[in-house]
Structure 1
Amino acid sequence: MNDVRHVLVLPDRDAAQEAVEALGERFGLDEEPRIVRDALAGEDDAEDAQWLVVLCDEDERLDAAELDEFADEWDGWREEP
């Protein structure tokens, strides 16, 4: 079993939640992605945070370029491992 993960960085919680729903529909995921709040360094305000969507891809079937395009639709990006 491989431990391949993709991380999408999105600008806010709403975008992250909507993206999780769309990811399942578009990519037919076996496991629901996890949403994680990532506070920016030195910021205490909840508005000053990025939201990470973590996808497990044990079978390595998700294409990085497709995930890049998907994240861009939500004004985000995919972090390189």
Structure 2
Amino acid sequence: MTQLLVFGEREDAEEVAGTLGEWFPEAGVPRVLRETLAGEDDAEDAQWLIVVEGLDESALAKVDELVERYDGWRESG
């Protein structure tokens, strides 16, 4: 199942992506993507996303702890 990790700050998303690459090397280093919120003209209102696939429940618990440290959240897709 695909998981979206959402952050308000690019630096946070990039740091989490690097950590995930270290923790789960078989998945490679996830890419950080920018998503502009609908109806927003201000670039500062963008969210930063990491797309993660193929992690089991025990791995997702670890990911959740990491994401929360950076004031982010996880959405299942």
Decide: shared fold, TM above 0.5.
yes
State how far apart, in whole Å, the 2-side matches of 1:29 and 1:11 are: 25
Give the fraction of aligned pairs with identical amino acids, expressed as a percent.
44
Gaps of 5+ in 1: none
Q: Check 1:75–1:23 CA distance in 2 against 1; reply closer, same or farther (3 A cut).
A: same
State how far apart, in whole Å, the 1-side matches of 2:76 and 2:17 are: 19
Give the equivalent residue in structure 2 for 1:75.
71
Following superposition, the deviation at residue 28 of structure 1 comes to: 2.5
Report the aligned-residue RMSD.
Answer: 1.6
Tell me the number of residue pairs that the alignment of Structure 1 and Structure 2 aligns.
75
Gaps of 5+ in 2: none
State how far apart, in whole Å, the 2-side matches of 1:47 and 1:65 are: 30
